[in-house]
Amino acid sequence: MALLPILVYPDPRLHTVARPVQAIDARIQTLVADMLETMYDANGIGLAATQVDVHERLIVIDVSEERNQPLVLINPEIVWASDDKQLGDEGCLSVPGIYDGVERSTAIRVRALDDKGQERTLEAQGLLAVCIQHEMDHLQGKVFVEYLSPLKRNRIKTKMLKARRETERA
């Protein structure tokens, strides 16, 4: 397993729309393992392949307290979302240190393949539903800050660019 570099907003690669995974082979199995290791190392609860510059429809999630219940969703598709919405603070490994309110459906049903290639349908609510919606946005080339006002988004972009310049100088 290996730690993968996480793209940081406003990297334009974060806006790439992911294509479907064609085969769940050794390459995908390795990618899943590397993404889980990367997510756990960064103290995240979700990671989309787009965030590690692999533009295929694959996300990993673990919202458990013990950090021992990884969920792998390959080619995920939301087949139902509740009309009930809730505003909640979200953060993102690609936008470190930034948290802001995003409105999401409180419950969803998602269909996907697992890491063994088995199709499954999952009902999710609460934090898991939010996390799945957030990570699926990444697969569409969308970062959560795009739900914010243009003013907030520009402030975040400026802050991220400044942090990158300071890191590069160090």
Cβ contact 82:108 at 8 Å: yes
Q: SS3 sequence, 55-66?
A: CECEEEECCCCC
Active site residue 146: no
Catalytic, out of 37, 135, 166, 168: 135
Is residue 131 part of an annotated ligand binding site? no
Q: Is 55 annotated as a binding residue?
A: no
Does 134 show up as a binding residue in the annotation? Answer: yes
- Binding site: which residues? 92, 134, 138
- Binding site for Fe cation: which residues? 92, 134, 138
Q: Which residues are catalytic?
A: 135
